[in-house]
Amino acid sequence: MNSISVIIPVLNEAKNIGALLTYLDLNSSSKSISEILVVDGGSSDGTQAVISEFSKIHPKVIGLKSPKGRAKQMNLGAAQSKGTVLYFLHADSIPPKNFDQYILDAFHKGAKTGCFKMKFDSNHWWLQLAGWFTQFNWKSCRGGDQSLFVEKIAFENLDGFNEDFVIYEDNDLIYKLYEQCDFEVLPYWLTTSSRRYQSNGIWVLQYHFWVIHLKKFFGATPKKLEAYYLKHIH
């Protein structure tokens, strides 16, 4: 029987991870979820304690420790997973109710990889427009905040996330998946936080994201992308 391993990389998410885990528990079937692997990259705000307390009540929630870096954290989670389908989810993204069934239905129909449509928890017109574009199956409209499901074998065949990328690791893998598989955008809405846009400024952050995409397009190395990100985005 096919099942899903949910993999959530976290770093200082004590304020969010408990609510997300509660939501996942209430809005999915225990039969379809193999485990929920929460991979911590060295939190200092009590995130690990929240995960530990939750796992005492919900044994399918497993806390793991990893070196810092989302690619490293997600690869470690994938290596520990038991499910046939991996579902990578950010700590500030909320998938649709019954997300697990939608993923398995698509998988049973032949989909090897895909994501959900995404909307921000903001009424700002630009963020609403950016979310609207995620319904289209264009790789330029993809990103990690939309979450990602992928057959474990397909993930392993691509050697997982490239750990050279401290940022852009999601896009790097998604572009490879587009080349190898039929990528599917499931017609249900995931909601993600706009907190980074709020803290940096919507237009400032959007500008820097565009610059990062352009730098990658013109051949910038992972180290150069990381340096630009650390200099301009907090």
**For residues 176-202, average pLDDT:** 96
Tally of domains within the chain: 2
Number of residues that make up the chain:
234
Burial of 89 (0-12, 13-18, 19+ CB in 10 A): buried
Nearby residues of 104 by Cβ (< 8 Å), 6 or more positions away:
2, 4, 32, 85
How sure is the predictor about 48, in pLDDT bands with cuts at 50, 70 and 90?
very high
Domain of 36 in residue numbering reads as 4-193
What the block records as the tokens of 126 is 């630009």
Dump pLDDT digits (tens) for 198-222. Answer: 999 999 999 999 999 999 999 999 9
pLDDT for res 26: 95
Residue-wise pLDDT tens digits, 72-124 = 999 999 999 999 999 999 999 999 999 999 999 999 999 999 999 999 999 99
Rounded CA gap, 5 and 81, in Å?
6
181 and 218 belong to one structural domain: no
| Upper half-sphere CA count for residue 206 (Cβ side, 13 Å) | 9
In a shared domain, residues 113 and 173: yes
Phi first, then psi, for residue 120 (nearest 5°) are -90, 155
Residues 63 and 176 in one domain: yes
The first and second tokens of residue 143, run together, are 């990103």
Confidence class of residue 4 from pLDDT cuts 50, 70 and 90? very high
| CB count in 10 Å sphere of residue 30 | 10
Same domain, 126 and 178: yes
169 shares a domain with 117 = yes
This prediction has a pTM of: 0.97
From 75, 72, 92, select the one nearest 143 (Cα to Cα).
Answer: 92
In this prediction, residue 234 carries a pLDDT of 85
pLDDT of residue 73: 98
Rounded CA gap, 81 and 155, in Å?
Answer: 12
Range 180-203 average pLDDT: 96
Residues 229 and 184 both lie in one domain: no
Q: Does 36 share its domain with 117?
A: yes
The mean predicted confidence, pLDDT, of the chain is 96
Q: Specify whether 127 is located in the same domain as 212.
A: no
pLDDT, residue 24, reads 97
Residue 130 DSSP class: H
CATH number of the domain to which 16 belongs:
3.90.550.10
pLDDT of res. 1: 81
